[in-house]
Structure 1
């Protein structure tokens, strides 16, 4: 009888471990099922994008740099106004303006979503940035605009933010400061486009589900950071 007691206790302990293991397995299966449902809701187009076509075409930058600079200035101006409406009656801080200026050229950030609505259109010997009013798939044109934006801003984001915070300029004044005085992106005449330039990627509207999913994932990444 004395020898049987430890065996009985050992069985009970073993049974507890098995129950805990089964519970952990059930939780794991639930998580996997949830992820499967989540991933199955992502449109096929999200996984079928071709990476080579998303590379920036640096040779196009000289033909759009001035236009990109003007749009950057208008975007910073408008986003500061939008931020003022959000924090009212408080005043927008210099830090909040710096955050806008720092992220305006980063497609991973919300402040750069404006780039997704632009199509680069060849008209005669010029390239024009045409706003579409809706977000499109980020292809080589989107990346080219991002690269041009980064070249315009360079390390001037804090200078731009300080100028906006201290002077509260008009949109036109900000264009002059950024595109003529600071970066000189619009100081010289834009050259004509070569006749043998290869056409860019067509503008493809982004499905609403995909846009929503990207915003959710980006929000999760920002919270984790």
Structure 2
């Protein structure tokens, strides 16, 4: 591991510790599973909108190259993970009661991640399930409009909008009010996510190099093993010649040589 990679990891660790020290002041929030049926379809529509926007953004960044299916899969895999930049949309959403329904309202700025934030993440993960590769393939091949993507993801693929959301219970306990993050906190979190992404990309880039080193190590180890086995076989051949002449001491040589070969093969 190079010095640059090491310093990057240390910097990321320091940022993480700082974020944890800030967030530890408040108890961790958990998703409200009872709210999932009331927001599932809306969350699915938001996923489709975000996927469409993120793919277009990525395409603009890498133009004139065309976005690959693998790059779209990466976006689809991360859109429901609050630890990833692709899920920042979740932090802007507030769950608001409107009559006997729940409505997702985009506040235009990131808020503190409380139980509502975790609930949206959970709903997002349940909607996507194992459909990330399927929706990525559809986007890559069809290049759909937002409406077409919504119909495919929420109707054909996941059925998230096939059933109308039921009315919310009258005794439902309201969620926490939306609290916007300070600009410093939002910036710090973006830096942390960005650094974590860079570390992961560096690991991916280093894989071919490590693969080459491992293969070279296996090759060298194989040559050493072959040399060791050849020596042992040579000793066995000498024993065989000694056996024909009636040499008694040659039996000990045989046992030693055979044991050496067996030990070498087991060690492999």
TM-score interval for Structure 1 and Structure 2 normalised by the shorter chain: 0.7 to 0.9
* Secondary structure in 2 matching 1:134: coil
* Secondary structure in 1 matching 2:97: strand
Residue aligning to 1:146: 121
Matched, 1:49 2:34: no
Give the TM-score taking structure 2 as reference length.
0.66
**Which whole-Å CA distance do the structure 2 matches of 1:180 and 1:147 have between them?**
19
Paired residues of 1:43 and 1:210 also in contact (CA < 8 A): no
**Which whole-Å CA distance do the structure 1 matches of 2:26 and 2:190 have between them?**
18
Residue aligning to 2:49: 74
* Secondary structure in 2 matching 1:119: strand
Q: Which has the higher contact order (CA 8 A, sep 6+)?
A: 1
Tell me which of 176, 180, 203 is aligned to 1:201: 176
Q: In the TM superposition, what whole-angstrom CA distance separates every residue of 1:68-116 from its partner, at most 9, and x where no partner exists?
A: 0000001000111111110111111111100110000000000000000
Q: In the TM superposition, what whole-angstrom CA distance separates every residue of 1:113-165 from its partner, at most 9, and x where no partner exists?
A: 00000000001100000000000000000000000000100000000000000
Tell me which of 58, 63, 70 is aligned to 1:83: 58
Distance 1:148 1:43, change over 3 A: closer
Residue aligning to 1:58: 33
Tell me which of 92, 95, 98 is aligned to 1:120: 95
Paired residues, number: 187
**Which whole-Å CA distance do the structure 2 matches of 1:66 and 1:43 have between them?**
33
Matched, 1:214 2:189: yes
**Which whole-Å CA distance do the structure 1 matches of 2:63 and 2:199 have between them?**
28
Tell me which of 111, 119, 141 is aligned to 1:136: 111
- Deviation for aligned residue 1:223: 3.2
Distance 1:143 1:43, change over 3 A: closer
Query: Structure 1, unaligned stretches of length 5 or more?
Result: 1-30
Q: In the TM superposition, what whole-angstrom CA distance separates every residue of 1:34-86 from its partner, at most 9, and x where no partner exists?
A: x7xx95xx7985342221xx100010000000000000001000111111110
- Deviation for aligned residue 1:213: 1.2
**Which whole-Å CA distance do the structure 1 matches of 2:143 and 2:80 have between them?**
21
**Which whole-Å CA distance do the structure 2 matches of 1:224 and 1:45 have between them?**
23
The structure richer in helix per residue is 2
* Secondary structure in 1 matching 2:196: helix
* Secondary structure in 2 matching 1:122: strand
Paired residues of 1:62 and 1:191 also in contact (CA < 8 A): yes
Residue aligning to 1:169: 144
CA RMSD after TM alignment:
2.0
Query: Structure 2, unaligned stretches of length 5 or more?
Result: 1-9, 201-268
* Secondary structure in 2 matching 1:141: helix
* Secondary structure in 2 matching 1:65: helix
